[in-house]
Amino acid sequence: MKPCVLFIDGENFLHKLEEVLKIQNTSEGREGLALVDLTKLLKDPLKGLNVIRKIFYASKVRYNKETSKKSIELISFQRKLRNNLVKHGFEFIIAGNVRAQKIDGQIIFREKGVDVKIAVDLVALACDRKLATAIICSSDSDLQPAVSELKGRKVKTIYLGFEASPNKGLSYTTDRTILIRNHEVLEAVNLTNV
C-alpha cells in the first residue's frame, strides 16, 4: 500500500464531531473535544491505509477586547487541542485567522483561510511528487478544484467524512469515500473521559 497523507480541516472536523454528539444526545461540551483521541477515532476508518503524515489545520485565534471572555476560552481550547494532537503524532498547522464579526448585534467567530492552505499544500505536494494518496477530511466543497488537480496528476484521493452528514460534492469528486460512523465518535469521546 502506497503512503498516504491525512489532511484535516480542523474547525470543520470539530463542528462535525459536535453535530454527531448533538444527534446522539450526548452532553460532551466543546471543551472535551480538545482531548478526544483522534488516533483511536481514526483507527478503524483508516484501517489498511499506510498513513505516514497526519496534518490538522487550524486558524489563528487572537485576543479580542470586545469579547475577552470568549477569546480567552478559544485560545485555551486551541492550546489544549494542539498539545493533545501533537502528543498523538499530528502536525498542527496554523493557517488563516479566526475573526469576530457582528451579525444582527451578535458577535460571531468565523475562520478564514484554512481551506486555501489545505488546497495549496495538496497541490504543492502533488507537484513535488511527495503525495501518492491524499485523505481529505473536510466538508468544504471549495476543495473540489484541488481534488481535480490531484487526480490529473495521478494522485489517489480519499474523502473522509461523517456518516451523519457527508459532503456529496467531495464524495463524488474523490476516488473513494470513507465515513466515520456515529458510534466511532461516541467511543472516542467516552475513551477520553474514562
Q: Which residues pair with 180 in a beta bridge?
A: 162
User: Grid coordinates in use for 190?
Assistant: 467516552
Residue ranges in the chain whose pLDDT is less than 50? 191-194
Cα separation of 107 and 99, whole Å?
A: 10
Identify the pLDDT of residue 24. 73
Identify the pLDDT of residue 51. 96
Identify the pLDDT of residue 8. 97
Residue 90 is inside which H or E element, if any?
none
Place of cell 470539530: 14
Alpha carbon distances (Å) from 95 to 11, 13, 32, 64: 11, 15, 23, 18
Cα separation of 144 and 58, whole Å?
A: 20
Identify the pLDDT of residue 64. 64
Which domain does 8 fall in, by range? 3-193
Identify the pLDDT of residue 100. 60
Phi, psi of 169 (to 5 degrees): -65, -50
Contacts of 135 (CB under 8 A, 6+ apart): 4, 5, 6, 7, 46, 49, 51, 158, 160, 178
CATH number of the domain at 20, please.
3.40.50.1010
Contacts of 177 (CB under 8 A, 6+ apart): 158, 159, 161, 166, 170, 171
Q: How many separate domains does the chain show?
A: 1
Identify the pLDDT of residue 36. 85
Cα separation of 101 and 164, whole Å?
A: 29
